[in-house]
C-alpha cells in the first residue's frame, strides 16, 4: 500500500504518458462524449495488463504536461461511484476500477487517479459506442500502442500479445471464452476479489450506517449532528486469524493501554454506554444520555469491533466541544490530529500481536469531514501561527498499509505521511516533521 501511495503521488507530481499511464484533461463526465473518452482509456489499459488514468492535465507541445484550467470547484463528479458506473456502462466484461484523490505537492491541487486492473481472462471490448461512433465503437477491442495511444489492435502480433495475456491470466479452458468474445458472444468474468482497502472501506460504510441509525433525530432547540467528525478504521490482515469469542476480543480491548485521558476504543462498564453485541459485532455508543443526544462531540464516541480483526471509531472534533477560543465548526487544531491518529496507530500496533501472536500487516484509514471554512489554530497556544490558514475542501481520507511491528519505531514518519496532505488543505500549510516528533514524544511521556 505504501508503494502504491508513492506511485500515485509520483503520477500527480510528475505526470507523464506511457503504455501503462494515460493522462487526460478535466473531462465533463455528464457528457456522453467525454464518458466514452474515459471508457476507451480504461478498456485499453485493462487489455494492456492494467495501469493508471490521471485526470486534470493538458499536454504541451514539448510533451510535458501542465494543470488543465479551470479546475472543477469540487471533485464530486469524479467519485468512485460515478467512474465505476461509466466503466460498467461501456465495458464488456465490466471490471472494477479504484479511484484515488491525490494532492499535488507543488500547488496543493487535488487530482483523481484511476487505477485500472489487468489480468482479465478475456479481452475487454466496448459494449456501447460514443455519440460520434468514432472515438469508441461498440463491439471493438482497444489496447495500448506505442506513441502511446489507445487504439484497436492493428496487426497479428498485437492480437497475439493480447490473447497471450488473457491465456496467462486464466486456464487452458478459457480459450473457448476468448473465442466467444472475439465472435461477439462474450462471457463475463467472475467479480474480482475485493482489495484489503475495499474490504476496510465496506466495514467503514457499514459502521457509518449503524452510527446514523443509533442517533435519535434532534428535537426543536436541540443540537443535531456534530459540525465535524473524524473516523479511524483498521484491519489486521491475514486469512488465518485465531478464532476469538466476542468476550475474548472485549478483554483484549480492555488491556490495550492508552496515551490520553480519552483513549480510542475505550471499554466502559457503566449502564447505558457499555459495549453490546449487534449482529455478531461488538458495538459501543457514548452518544446518548437516556434518550437524549450527548452535546459534547468529542466524547460521544461510536465504535465497532469484530472478531475478524476490523475496528472502527467515529468521534467528533475536540475543537467543537465548547472551547473558549473557537465556536463549534470554525477551528481545526494544529496538534490534536497527531495525538489522536498516533494513539490509534499505537492501538493497532498493540492489538495485532496480542490477537495473532505475531506481527501482521495493518491496513489503516483515517477520514475527516466538516473541514470546509475551518481555520487552523492551536488551542493550547504552545505554537503561534502567524497567518490565517483556511480549508476550502470539506472532507479528506488517508490510508496506508504497514506492519504492526514497524509502527512504534516509525510513528512520526507514518504520521507525517498520513497528515501532511490533510494540513495542505489549509492554504498549503506545511506540517513540520519536527512538530510531529515533539508531539509524539509528549504523547508517549
pLDDT digits over 243-252, tens only? 889 999 999 9
Confidence of residue 419 (pLDDT cuts 50, 70, 90): very high
Residues 368-409: pLDDT tens digits? 999 999 999 999 999 999 899 999 999 999 999 999 999 999
- CA dist., res. 50 & res. 119, Å (int): 7
| Cβ–Cβ under 8 Å, residues 375 and 402 | no
**What average pLDDT does the segment 441-445 reach?**
94
Instruction: Write down the pLDDT at residue 63.
Output: 75
| Cβ–Cβ under 8 Å, residues 328 and 229 | no
Confidence of residue 133 (pLDDT cuts 50, 70, 90): confident
Place of cell 482497444: 142
Residues 150-201: pLDDT tens digits? 989 888 788 888 887 887 776 544 555 555 556 555 555 556 678 899 999 9
| 385 grid coordinates | 501561527
Please tell me which of 115-124, 302-311, 314-323 the model is most confident about, judged by mean pLDDT.
Answer: 302-311
Q: Give the Cβ contact number of residue 428 at 10 Å.
A: 13
Place of cell 503521488: 9
Q: How far does CA 128 lie from the centroid of its chain?
A: 30
Confidence of residue 115 (pLDDT cuts 50, 70, 90): very high
Structure pTM? Answer: 0.60
Confidence of residue 34 (pLDDT cuts 50, 70, 90): very high
At residue 129, does pLDDT exceed 80?
yes
Least confident of 26-40, 44-58, 150-164: 150-164
CA distances from 267 to 153, 206, 272 (A): 60, 21, 12
Amino acid at each position: 500500500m505504501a508503494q502504491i501511495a508513492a506511485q500515485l503521488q509520483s503520477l500527480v507530481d510528475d505526470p507523464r504518458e506511457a503504455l501503462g499511464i494515460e493522462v487526460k484533461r478535466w473531462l465533463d463526465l455528464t457528457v456522453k462524449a467525454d464518458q466514452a473518452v474515459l471508457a476507451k482509456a480504461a478498456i485499453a489499459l485493462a487489455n494492456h495488463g492494467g495501469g493508471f488514468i490521471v485526470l486534470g492535465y493538458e499536454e504541451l507541445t514539448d510533451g510535458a504536461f501542465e494543470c488543465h484550467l479551470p479546475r472543477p470547484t469540487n471533485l464530486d463528479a469524479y467519485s468512485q461511484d460515478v467512474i465505476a458506473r461509466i466503466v460498467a456502462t461501456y465495458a464488456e466484461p465490466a471490471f472494477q476500477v479504484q479511484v484515488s484523490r491525490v494532492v499535488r505537492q507543488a500547488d496543493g491541487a487535488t487530482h483523481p487517479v484511476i487505477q485500472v486492473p489487468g489480468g482479465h481472462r478475456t479481452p475487454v471490448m466496448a459494449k456501447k459506442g460514443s455519440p460520434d461512433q468514432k472515438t469508441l465503437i461498440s463491439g471493438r477491442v482497444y489496447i495500448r500502442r506505442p506513441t502511446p495511444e489507445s487504439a484497436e489492435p492493428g496487426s497479428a502480433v498485437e492480437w497475439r500479445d493480447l490473447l497471450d495475456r488473457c491465456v496467462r491470466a486464466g486456464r487452458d479452458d478459457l480459450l473457448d471464452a476468448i473465442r466467444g468474445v472475439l465472435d461477439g458472444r462474450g462471457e463475463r468474468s467472475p467479480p474480482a476479489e475485493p482489495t484489503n482497502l475495499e474490504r476496510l472501506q465496506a466495514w467503514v460504510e457499514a459502521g457509518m450506517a449503524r452510527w446514523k441509525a443509533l442517533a435519535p433525530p434532534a428535537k426543536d432547540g436541540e443540537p443535531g449532528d456534530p459540525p465535524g467528525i473524524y473516523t479511524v478504521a483498521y484491519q489486521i490482515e491475514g486469512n488465518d486469524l485465531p478464532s476469538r469469542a466476542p468476550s475474548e476480543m472485549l478483554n483484549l480491548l480492555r488491556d490495550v493501554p492508552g496515551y490520553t485521558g480519552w483513549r480510542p476504543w475505550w471499554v466502559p462498564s457503566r449502564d447505558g454506554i457499555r459495549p453490546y453485541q449487534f449482529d455478531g459485532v461488538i458495538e459501543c455508543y457514548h452518544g446518548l444520555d437516556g434518550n437524549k443526544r450527548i452535546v459534547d462531540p468529542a466524547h460521544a464516541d461510536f465504535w465497532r469491533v469484530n472478531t475478524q480483526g476490523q475496528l472502527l471509531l467515529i468521534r467528533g472534533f475536540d475543537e467543537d466541544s465548547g472551547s473558549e477560543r473557537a465556536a463549534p465548526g470554525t477551528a481545526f487544531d494544529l496538534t490534536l490530529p497527531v495525538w489522536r491518529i498516533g494513539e490509534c496507530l499505537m492501538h493497532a500496533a498493540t492489538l495485532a500481536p496480542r490477537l495473532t501472536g505475531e506481527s501482521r500487516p495493518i491496513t489503516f484509514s483515517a477520514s475527516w469531514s466538516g473541514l470546509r471554512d475551518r481555520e487552523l489554530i492551536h488551542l493550547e497556544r504552545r505554537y503561534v501561527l502567524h497567518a490565517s490558514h483556511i480549508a476550502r475542501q470539506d472532507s479528506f481520507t488517508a490510508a496506508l498499509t504497514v506492519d504492526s511491528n514497524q509502527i512504534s519505531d516509525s510513528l512520526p514518519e507514518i504520521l507525517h505521511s498520513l497528515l501532511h496532505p490533510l494540513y495542505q488543505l489549509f492554504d498549503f500549510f506545511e506540517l513540520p516533521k519536527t512538530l510531529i516528533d515533539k508531539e509524539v514524544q509528549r504523547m508517549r511521556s
